[in-house]
Amino acid sequence: MKTIVIIGGSKGIGEAILINQLDSHKVVNISRSKPSIIHKNLVHYNCDILSDELPDLDEVDSLIYCPGSINLKPFSRFKIADFQYDFEINFLGAVKAIQKYLPKLKDANNASILLFSTVATKLGMPFHTSIASSKSAVEGLVKSLGAELAPKIRINAIAPTITDTSLAEKLLRNDAMKETITERHPLKKYLIPQEVAAMADFLISQQSGSMSGQIITLDCGIVTFKI
């Protein structure tokens, strides 16, 4: 039974990934709030990734870093502190987690790391300067660190479009906004957490054993197509 460490597995995409892994793996969740589910294979540590020390663990086979932000507003209204926070939660938190658990990942067989980007790194959109910048750093980390850690540890990232989670609730707060976002996507839909979790399952499994340094875009067509 492998040990899957999820940073931020109590809500949204992280929770969907956690639920998928519980029946077949030991899951260690590290977040500020407890998951809503109780399971014999689940261990939880209360921890703020930005301010607390991460717990020591005996084994880590896969590390998944889920925390993120959606901080959207005109560039003129952003403060330096906004850019700093987004960079810390999206990029530096991931670096902190990887550095903490890298020795254990190196001890594992078929180890993997999974991070999260966004379609906004590929599709220029107004008001996305902060999140697109910090997630672009994540993508650079995936490619550079993937080369450095090969062949022992694989690292990939998922870049989803808007996903129906509490993080995106301001963008999906009424039926009119949901319809507008649906219509913007060529596949006439946006994501649900379970779709992203299914891709995460694949990327930490041996089915993706030949993939590293990849940014997998789950875009419902918004980046790929112009229709």
Identify whether 120 is part of a domain.
yes
- Burial per residue of 58-87, b for 16 or more beta-carbon CB atoms within 10 angstroms, e otherwise: eebbbbbbbbbbbbbeeeeebeeebbebbb
Identify whether 227 is part of a domain.
no
Q: What is the mean pLDDT of residues 116-124?
A: 96
Supply the range of the domain harboring residue 130.
3-218
Identify whether 224 is part of a domain.
no
CB atoms near residue 122 (< 10 Å): 18
Q: How far apart are CA 223 and CA 217, in angstroms?
A: 8
Please list the residues that pair with 29 across neighbouring strands.
6, 44
- Determine contact, residues 59/3, Cβ cutoff 8 Å: yes
pLDDT at 49: 96
Identify whether 225 is part of a domain.
no
pTM, entire model: 0.96
Identify whether 188 is part of a domain.
yes
In the chain, the percentage of residues whose pLDDT exceeds 70 is: 100
Q: What is the pLDDT of residues 35-75, one digit of tens each?
A: 999 999 999 999 999 999 999 999 999 999 999 999 999 99
The total domain count for the chain is 1
Identify whether 199 is part of a domain.
yes
Identify whether 32 is part of a domain.
yes
pLDDT at 161: 97
CATH number at residue 118: 3.40.50.720
Per DSSP, 28 falls in state: E
Q: What is the mean pLDDT of residues 141-153?
A: 98
